[in-house]
Amino acid sequence: MNRRAAALCGAAAVVAGMITAVPAGASAGSTTATATAPRTTLSADSAKLTWKKCGTTSYPTLQCASLKVPLDHANPRGERITLALSRVPHTAKKSQGPLLVNPGGPGGSGLTLAGFVAASLPKAVASQYDVIGFDPRGVGASRPAPNCKPGHFAPVRPDSVPNTPALEKANLDRVEAFAKACGTKYGKLLPYLDTVSAVQDMDAIRHALGAKKINYFGYSYGTYLGAVYAKLYPDRVRRMVLDSIVDPTGVWYDDNLAQDYAFNDRHQAFMAWVAKHNATYKLGTDPEKIEAKWYAMRAALAKRPADKTVGASELEDTFVPGGYFNGFWPYLAEAFAAFVNDKNDDPLVEAYENFGAVDAAGDNSYSIYTSVQCRDASWPRDWEQWREDNWKVHEKAPFMTWSNAWYNAPCAFWPTDSLEPVDVSNDSVPPVLLFQATDDAATPYEGGVTVHHLLRGSSLVVEQGGGNHGITLSGNACLDKHLATYLTNGKVPRGGGAIDAVCKKLPDPSPMSTKASPSRGATLHGLLGFRG
């Protein structure tokens, strides 16, 4: 899931039963699978990159380039599309090669992430790598960049919880219209927007860089992207870091249902934090009663949206980011308290504009998110199953179950057939370093454990009690030490059990201070986005 926003604190713009690998030439409607790795389809002449300066105030050494790749890698002489690349070049005398980075999604732009990773790693480590960012096919500055239905998330949307037939129909009409628009506008493109095609693009990037092997660092969905690359090209992986790990045995319908329970738990952790800071927010000291006030706020907004902008669905959009990163809690708590205690909805509207509103870039990101997830794996086509499954989950986890359901529901009506998921189990790849927080909501802990078992020789580092999504390069020195050591010399911790190393979580944030400055964690989570 990937929804872009800007942090109020001033951070950069935000946001089992497996089969085998999909063949390079899979076409619309194909569900055939093969374990054969697709070959690179670029010639030496077409693979040259021209780097130009594109630095920003925050990342002045960034360079940019573009690379043309086949739309269909099984037809290398056919239509081509363009990938946007970024680079922070190595400065050490000896290079350890390219380090490709990806922020997740699907649909996340990785261009700025290259600058962040290069700036956040210890200088002695970053200087040894060419840190390579890229916008995957269809994303951001890559071309074409689909936008299926501009304004799909424009407020005020129907209440996400379909308590009446009219609300269910209104939401169904929205998602069906989105799927239809994607098929009408991009029907020829959709069969080639999938994870395996993106992985083949990554190998084309490797080829264009003149590297025999790549190093890779992926967050969230980027962990699945990396695991699939390792499956198809194990001999081309040098080092690989996966942070906040997708469960590959549940892509994507089951994974989304699992998220709902985890996000509900994380929302309740936020309620407990608000209770702890009653002196500041004056919402009470009982988390359950505070949660009741939150749902009362939701009900009030469903009847009368704040500033004709923030209804019940937009409120969910605003508070979901708090499940990804607790650094946003003080801003959300301030808006919550102002609404309840002072009948002032201005802070809530401001929070929505900064955390929940979707701009044109977000529309593009969502278009790719749906295109990839709907194509990657099978989804129920019978709406009765969606209804039954989501009401069952909603009973125990009401916070975002139906919001998440509608976010993914275009897949019930998607105009292309689905491929088979990739079996990422791997005995050939070098040791992979895995990072996972125990209370991560977006990619629950079980995913990290599963991938640890599937990737032989991998090492799992756990942030005990941590609930943020994307945990390295966010200020936890223990995690970052393991990362720096691995990128320096390839050594992974070995604990001799199911977990190889444990790090304590960072303290939860304090209530907002006017003197507070953007943290590294806030900057990272701005780049990772939400729903990712």
Instruction: Supply the residues annotated as catalytic.
Output: 220, 440, 469
Burial class (CB in 10 A: 0-12, 13-18, 19+), 442: buried
Verify cis geometry, omega within 30 degrees of 0, for the bond prior to 415: no
Q: How far apart are CA 520 and CA 518, in angstroms?
A: 7
**Which of 288, 305, 363 is closest to 2 using CA atoms?**
363
Contacts 24+ apart (CB under 8 A), 333-337: 333/270, 333/273, 333/274, 333/277, 333/280, 333/281, 333/283, 333/511, 334/281, 334/512, 336/274, 336/281, 336/283, 336/293, 336/294, 336/297, 337/280, 337/281, 337/282, 337/283
**Which of 50, 354, 275, 299 is closest to 159 using CA atoms?**
299
- Distance in Å from the first CA to the final CA of the chain: 3
Q: Cβ distance 508 to 329 under 8 Å?
A: yes
Burial class (CB in 10 A: 0-12, 13-18, 19+), 234: middle
Q: Cβ distance 114 to 10 under 8 Å?
A: no
Burial class (CB in 10 A: 0-12, 13-18, 19+), 1: buried
Determine the distance from the C-alpha atom of residue 362 to the mean position of all C-alpha atoms in its chain, rounded to a whole number: 13
